[in-house]
Amino acid sequence: MKKHPMLKYMKETGPQGDRMPMIMCPGCGSGQVLNAILHAVDRLIQEDGARKENFVFITGVGCSARLTSHYLNFDSGWTIHGRTLAIATGALLANPELRIIVITGDGDTGAIGGNHFIHVCRRNLDLTIVCINNGLYGMTGGQVAPTTETGISTTTTPYGNTEESFDLCRLAEAAGAPFVARWTTAHPHQTIRTLTKGIRKKGTAFIEILSQCPVHKKQSPVQMLKALKQGTARVKPGEPPVEGKIPIGEFCNLDKPEWIQSYQKVLDQFSNHRTPVEV
């Protein structure tokens, strides 16, 4: 049987046993997102000659977090809930050559990690944030998230969500991220293209992927994918967003100074000569 082309980047088995099939629930979108990310990384390795050893995948806690440690044959960290971007910042300070891809969820990014998220965008660090947004907390059993639409019932909003929800892309853009985009699991090719651009971008790339959670939303995956297609509309430059639809596409791609490069200018002042140490 012909193998899936992305299996070359994954651990199929280990000393302690097989890793496949994945632990994700049937119909979950996380596997689709991982597939898209690996296709984009593959393009960078094949087309740009990027070193595989320099890619690092960092996740926090939640469904999205399970994608790295279990399966990826890359350097990775399955880290603390919400702290992925602070940890990624530390890694880049130590080694700016690393190509860091943070795979995160809407709770990880928009709630517990919100502070780190806006400050990474503000600093414009050279990394890629892929946020799998399923609109709820899946791993803990379907609680309300900052991205849950108003009115939706969850296990912690049994009478319907009375709060307003976050638009994470607008938040990222306002905080200063130069590359911001949104696609859905129903747009695999567009997602791969945008991910490739985002990883190539020198600076913070925030790419939100709207995804389905059939288990906690109690709907069929097919029905949910159709809804993701029908409920979204691509943004067109110069045109207002389509009323009643979630905008998708690439929202911005700006040239801004990347922080590590800016700080390098400070380092360079001291690179060639001895500095009288003043204490």
For another protein, the binding residues (CB under 8 A) are 14-17, 19, 53-54, 56, 58, 68-70, 72-80, 83, 86-95, 97-98, 115-116, 119, 263, 266-267, 269-271, 274-275, 277, 279
- Cβ 36 to another protein, closest distance in Å? 21
Who contacts 7 (Cβ-Cβ below 8 Å, separation ≥6)? none
The Cβ of residue 69 has, within 10 Å, a number of other Cβ atoms equal to 15
Whose Cβ is closer to another protein: residue 162's or residue 271's? 271
**Are the beta carbons of 76 and 58 closer than 8 angstroms?**
yes
| Cβ distance to another protein smaller for residue 125 or 180 | 125
Q: Any long-range contacts for 92-96 (C-beta under 8 Å, 24+ apart)?
A: 92/125, 92/126, 92/127, 92/260, 93/260, 96/126, 96/260, 96/264
Q: Determine phi and psi for 197, rounding to 5 degrees.
A: -65, -40
Compare residues 175 and 248 and give the one whose CB is closer to another protein. 175
Q: Least distance in Å: CB of 74 to another protein?
A: 6
Compute the least distance from the CB of residue 29 to another protein, in Å.
23
Closest approach, Cβ 18 to another protein, in A, equals 8
Q: Toward another protein, which CB reaches closer, 91 or 233?
A: 91
Tokens of 100: 């860091």
Q: How far is the CB of 211 from another protein (least distance, A)?
A: 23
Nearer to another protein, 33 or 127 (CB): 127
Residue 81 C-beta: closest distance to another protein, Å? 9
Beta bridge partners of 10: 72
| CB nearer another protein, residue 44 or residue 224 | 44
Going by their DSSP bridges, the two strands 179-184 and 246-253 should be labelled as antiparallel
Q: Are 186 and 228 in contact (CB under 8 A)?
A: yes
Could you tell me the smallest distance in angstroms from the CB atom of residue 24 to another protein?
15
Q: How far apart are CA 153 and CA 162, in angstroms?
A: 10
Minimum distance of another protein from residue 267's CB (angstroms): 5
C-beta neighbour count of 211 within 10 angstroms: 27
Task: Find, among 56, 50, 108, the residue nearest to 83 by Cα.
Answer: 108
Nearer to another protein, 87 or 227 (CB): 87
Residue 75 or 167: which CB sits closer to another protein?
75
**Distance set, CA 22 to CA 12, 39, 129, 147, 154 (Å):** 10, 18, 22, 26, 26
